[in-house]
Amino acid sequence: MDWDKFIGETNSYEKKVILNIDDPDNWLKTVSAFANGKGGIIFFGIDDNDNLVGLKNVKKDSEKISELIKTKIEPLIYDFDLQILTDNDKNFIMLKIFEQYKTPYYVVKKNSKSAYIRVGNQTVSPESWQLNQLILKGSNTTFDGLETFVSLKNVSFSVLKGFYYQITKKELKDKDLISFNLVNPNTLLTNAGALLADQELIYQSRLFITRWNGLDKAHSKMEALDDDEFKGNIISILKETESFIKKNTKKLWKKEKLQRKEYPYYPKEAIREALVNALIHRDYSIVGSEIHIDIYDDRLEIHSPGGMYNGDFIQEQDIFQLSSVRRNPILADMFEKIGLM
């Protein structure tokens, strides 16, 4: 075994010097966290300083590990690997938990159960929005596909219908709304439908934008030159935000033979793509959150709620090899249909 690959502890492996049978929650929490994430490895018989201590009764310990995972983790984890390793006449256990798909996985106690996630080298309780993400993953559902209590008869889609007709030259009918998963067969809107309806139905869909005076938020006599808040239909939010940015950023120009030609400081296509990504791929399940855009003299910053959809950390990724995963595929498909993606 090449132990040099497992120095310290990370978000993908952890070490225990012994198997604590009297208080198994200590390592069962890590089993829950790995099952709720990308998987991971727990080594038994190694101390915090990476010393190979070994286990006295490795066969009995391995049987107990298997038993406790089956009786103390809910739902049942089928996909794990338990190996007994030997190094310098010392026995160890390597417990490998593979990524699971019936999340969230809980540690079950007498009168309660708790789920856990991995953050760096720590096992912690998830925040409410993180638990909601695990529930969605386990039910193979996305936020934009969830049903609301809003009836189709109580809303309108004039903005969406206008964009749809402009691109397709066809009217967007009620049956199309059902076909596009904006409305379910019982005529109740999905969250995607609620975000594309004319009315403001999802409070956390708001966007705040500010034109700051200078290179940061603090060091100027007049802190902000302009600001606004946009809410309601996310198509309207997109168009209003584009107008605000155009009004509050510099123009470049060059003189030609008969007239001068103006150029936006930021390419229109780049702004459109960045805003669409923020609106389509943000995490709408985080109540109390919104998109924030800050315009400074030398840059434009967009802050969109939510981390990487699969729970990975962007700092640990090769950004040139990232695969495309849509957090809200129904919204993304609809924006493609109306020519905004």
CA 75, 36, 78, 71 dihedral sign is: negative
- Which phi-psi region, left, alpha or beta, contains residue 128 (left: φ > 0; alpha: ψ -120 to 50)? alpha
CA–CA distances in Å: residue 290 to residues 71, 82, 206, 276, 279? 41, 44, 5, 14, 10
Question: For the chain, what are the domain ranges?
Answer: 3-138, 203-306
Tens-digit pLDDT profile for residues 37-54: 889 999 888 887 778 888
pLDDT tops 80 at residue 5? no
For the chain, give the percent of residues with pLDDT over 90: 41
H helices of the chain, where? 25-36, 58-72, 128-138, 158-168, 174-179, 191-196, 234-247, 268-281, 329-337
Residue 179 binned pLDDT confidence (cut-offs 50, 70, 90): very high
- Considering only CA atoms, which of 307, 302, 312, 301 is closest in space to residue 327? 307
Largest CA distance in the chain: 90
- Please provide the CATH number assigned to the domain covering 3-138: 3.30.950.30
| pTM higher than the cut 0.85 | no
